[in-house]
A and B are shown apart, each in its own frame.
Chain A
Amino acid sequence: MSHGIPRSTTTSHDNKSEAAKAKERKQIENYKALEKDVTERIQAQDFTNPTFQLTSTLLAQNPEYYTIWNHRRLLLQHVFAQELASNNGPPSNTTSQEPAHDASTTTTTTPPSNTQKKDTTLSPAQREISLLINEDLTFLLPLLKQYPKCYWIWNHRSWLLSRTSRHLPASASLTFWQAELSLIGKMLALDSRNFHGWGYRRIVVQEIERLSSRGEEEGGGSMVEAEFEYTTKMIHTNLSNFSAWHYRGTLIPRLLSSRAASSSARQDFFDDELALITQALYTDPYDQSLWFYHQFLMSTLDASNPQAGVILDPVDDGVRRRYLEQELESVREMVEGAEDCKYVYQALLEYARRLREVGGTVGREEMRGWLRELRGLDPLREGRWMDLEGKLGL
């Protein structure tokens, strides 16, 4: 099981009957024969369709066998190269990097963007490649459903998609990538905490933006607003979602700069985000992902953090003090009803420390009280709390 979503497993050998064991032995024999066959064919450079079909059978049984995925890609690459070489269509470097134009027309100096948008015709080679990629994506679907956390399936999928960018005109490739976005939406609806899904989504969004921005549309094809909205929806579906909160955080600096947000707009935005996370923390202070997001927001104020994202602008110690005081007060109120929640006390000590660093004051007795609670709630980490005590000079 992985955060409530069962991982596909096979049953233990001991519980099976003799008949089942015999059946299983036969299955193992068949599997090993198949593996041998595929490996031998690849070694012999037999990149024909029968070999391809055999890899399908093998991978359907064992998608974790990443070497076979490599073989499959070799095969496909071989076929793609053949298609592009043998056909009379445009040369193989006519990809989404350049507009695809009719072989019969003379080279003109039309700017790429104009022909780009309208030209959706594929050469015979491209059509064939498109079909092959589509078939392979279809082959992957049931496997992905069954093994949603298998790295190699995601990897092969993104390889196939990258081939569309390489071999097909932008509009055709874009269709593939957009379908992929829709698929990943469904996968995340099934398991919103599958980090493979979230990472994959970022790749897909990035590629769609890249392909769309070579069109004429203003604003490029930036999807940052839509993606931000998506994280809002996902958080509302499941508050406890490290990936969604994290993605949200990474989008914010870009979001604000794409909006060309003024200082006051940035402040409003920051205040709204703090209000949102405070609302979440009052709902469930026991959820660590929420504290991480709160820390992220506060980290943008941290002068000592070179990697801090930019939300507020400008930030000086006065601003820092104000927000730290505000949040410290807010977290103090959260203690009531959550006296057994160690995250609250950890946050109090951390923000108190930072407040002092920028010239604010927090009583040592109060801080000692928090540390006492923390020690009581988490005695196994006594070493860490002793260290903290020293660092804070308590």
Chain B
Amino acid sequence: MVGDFLKDCHVANDPLDQSKGQKQEIQDVDSFSRANRLAMKKSALIAGSLSRSGKRILHLDPNEYYGGAEAALSLAEAESWASRCAEATDTAVFSHASITKPPPSGEKKLLSSRAYSLALAPHLIYAKSNTVPALVSSQCHNQLDFQAVGSWFVLDSASNAQSGLIRVPSSREDVFQDTALSLKAKRGLMKFLRFVANFEEQTETWHDSKDTPFPAFLEQKFALPAASHGPILALTMSTAPSSTTSTGYALPRIAQHLRSIGIFGPGFGAVLPKWGGLAEIAQVACRAGAVGGGVYVLNKAIKEATKSEEDNRITLKLSDAEQVSTTWLCGSAETMQTISPAPDASSGSSATVSRSISVISSPLSALFPSTSEGGVTPAGAVVVVPSSNNDGPPVHILVHTSEAGECPMNQCVAYASVALSSDVGYAQIDQAIANMLSNFDQEPTPEVLWRLQYQQRIPAATDGAVLMDGSFISLPAMAGDLVLADSVLNGVQQAWQSITNEDENMFMKFTSRSEMEDEE
């Protein structure tokens, strides 16, 4: 996959001297009038956004595989990745990685390594967000496949009922059909959902409570008992414990969920990119960058960057002692800190998240009911497992069917995460997955065929603001949010604007290349 991509990565007006015969070799200082050193997915978006700008772009990746922290890995690639991360220190982005392959008790087994494309960054994208319109206006959508994330579930671990998996009602029709809700409970929940639908205009109801913990708000303002909170909280996709999830945080997130429903199709509001999460979007954006003349190089890191006082150009010293001169240098906040530490930059706090990727031996079809008569069968589902002690953070499990292109048929992939460090987090996510699987009363019982677990350190999000120091642009890290936030693209837009100085309405607005040819 990686190799194939590199073959595609040709340079249109070749700044390199082709006669030297090696696409990836970087020439000396003069060859590039502008170059940007980038990392990770947001960098891919910048490369893509600049692909029509006429700027020369050099995209450097210190890894030997493409995609950085948002890569999609085969089983073998996951194994090498895990052994590298196992040796990493606590302060590295990824650490404490290990793989387990429980011996299968039945006939179900793992297929070959390449039958899997596991996403390190599984995300869901809401219809009401800036991502999809940007992908459409930039013509990238033709190369991307999105699939429906249909149902949300809450795993009621305390319940002794046969199915502890409760489907979260998130529309009027869901509430209507939910047999577990009494008539009065239906009415109460609907009243809340109607409120959220235009909560911005009803500030008198919530503005004073915006810092109040959300469960207290639900009880006080809507007389919704604690037992009914689980499903509502699930819609916030908050990775924090319910007691620290504020009303001001929860309401817009629930509103986004509700308002997104029906936009892409009846009954669902979120999608996942096929073939391995954000890796696919990043790949398409990089391809766009490459078609526009960008160069993408793996296995090269920047050791040092110094800015000249006279002409404002930055000289980069690369890992193999080559040098490149550039006008702009753009990278993640962390990388920029390593290359060119700014004295005033605060190191900031960071969150630690425990994650796992599990290959499950069964398709778990009950998680993916069609969301409407004659509608699509979703490829994604969300299972939220509240903490067994009230004050802990919930475990989120994103489950993807084989239709997401990440595993073979009759299996599925469960991506679990919890905002805890691995010493307690791993046990919690293992328990959550086991709990979830125990709710499937089928022969043979579903089991985990393969699991990768790892700890991820996520620097504190800086609200999407792009810090700049002259010609250095540092992109903030993505928060540990499973929902792709608008701030990601906003940060990219700010960077793009600094570099191109163009009107903000032109961001990611490209005519299709074939149309352009027709007009000539």
Contacts and interface: CB of A to CB of B under 8 A. Distances in A.
B187 A236 contact: no
A234 B176 CA distance: 13
A337 B183 contact: no
Interface string B253-268: 0000000000000110
A211 to B, nearest CB: 24
Given A236-B173, A237-B266, A238-B173, A186 B374 contact: yes
Given A282-B183, A337-B187, A337-B191, A237 B175 contact: no
A277 to B, nearest CB: 11
B183 A236 contact: no
Contacts of B375: 189, 237
A279 B191 CA distance: 15
A279 B374 CA distance: 24
Given A189-B375, A237-B372, A279-B183, A284 B190 contact: yes
Contacts of A239: 172-173, 176
Interface in A217-236: 230, 233-234, 236
A236 B374 CA distance: 12
Nearest to A189: B374
B186 interface: yes
A337 B188 contact: yes
B176 A189 contact: no
B373 A233 contact: yes
Contacts of B373: 189, 230, 233-234, 236-237
B68 to A, nearest CB: 39
B150 to A, nearest CB: 13
Contact of B172 (A189, A230, A284): A284
A283 B266 CA distance: 19
Q: Is the interface of B mostly helix, strand, loop or mixed?
A: helix
Among A192, A233, A237, A278, the one with the most B-chain Cβ atoms within 10 Å of its Cβ is: A237
B177 interface: yes
Contacts of B183: 278-279, 282
Contact of A236 (B176, B186, B188): B176
A173 B267 CA distance: 35
A337 B194 CA distance: 12
Contacts of A279: 176, 183, 186
Contacts of A89: none
Interface residues of A, number: 22
Contact of A283 (B186, B267, B372, B374): B186
Contacts of B190: 282-284
Nearest to A240: B172
A215 interface: no
Nearest to B179: A279
A237 B265 CA distance: 12
A282 B267 contact: no
Nearest to B184: A282
A185 B188 contact: no
Contacts of A255: none
Interface in A271-293: 278-280, 282-284
A185 B374 contact: yes
Nearest to A287: B172
A188 interface: yes
Interface string B176-217: 110000011011101100000000000000000000000000
Interface string B343-385: 0000000000000000000000000000011110000000000
A136 to B, nearest CB: 25
Contacts of B267: 237
Interface in A305-347: 336-338
A189 B187 contact: no
Contact of B372 (A189, A240, A337): A189
Nearest to B376: A189
Contact of B176 (A280, A336, A338): A280
B173 A189 contact: no
A239 B267 CA distance: 12
A238 B374 CA distance: 13
A189 B375 CA distance: 7
A284 B183 CA distance: 11
B202 to A, nearest CB: 14
Contact of A238 (B186, B188, B266): B266
Interface in A235-277: 236-240
Contacts of B372: 189, 237-238
A284 B172 CA distance: 7
Contacts of A284: 172, 176, 190
Interface in A174-213: 185-186, 188-189, 192
Nearest to B374: A189
Given A236-B173, A237-B173, A239-B173, A189 B266 contact: yes
A240 B173 CA distance: 9
B224 to A, nearest CB: 12
A283 B191 contact: no
A372 B173 CA distance: 32
Nearest to A230: B373
A167 to B, nearest CB: 31
A236 B266 contact: no
Contacts of A238: 173, 266, 372
Contact of B177 (A186, A189, A236, A240): A236
Among B175, B176, B267, the one with the most A-chain Cβ atoms within 10 Å of its Cβ is: B176
A192 B267 CA distance: 12
A4 to B, nearest CB: 8
A370 B266 CA distance: 38
Nearest to A4: B262
Contacts of B191: 337
A230 B267 CA distance: 17
Nearest to A276: B176
A352 to B, nearest CB: 22
Contacts of A236: 173, 176-177, 373
Nearest to A330: B183
Contacts of A240: 172
A227 to B, nearest CB: 13
A283 B188 contact: no
B374 A188 contact: yes
A234 B177 CA distance: 12
A12 B372 CA distance: 36
B50 to A, nearest CB: 28
Among A230, A239, A240, the one with the most B-chain Cβ atoms within 10 Å of its Cβ is: A239
A338 B188 CA distance: 11
Nearest to B371: A237
A233 B267 CA distance: 13
A186 B373 CA distance: 9
B418 to A, nearest CB: 34
B187 A282 contact: yes
Contacts of B177: 236
Interface string B320-332: 0000000000000
Nearest to A232: B373
A284 B266 CA distance: 19
Contacts of A337: 187-188, 191
A310 to B, nearest CB: 28
A280 to B, nearest CB: 6
Contacts of A185: 374
Contacts of A188: 374
Interface in A40-63: none
Among B184, B187, B373, the one with the most A-chain Cβ atoms within 10 Å of its Cβ is: B373
A375 B375 CA distance: 43
Contacts of B188: 337
Interface string B279-316: 00000000000000000000000000000000000000
Nearest to B191: A337
13 contacts: A185-B374, A189-B374, A236-B373, A237-B267, A237-B375, A238-B173, A239-B176, A240-B172, A279-B176, A279-B183, A282-B184, A283-B190, A284-B172
Interface of B: 172-173, 175-177, 183-184, 186-188, 190-191, 266-267, 372-375
Given A189-B372, A239-B172, 6 more contacts: A236-B173, A236-B176, A239-B173, A278-B183, A279-B176, A282-B186
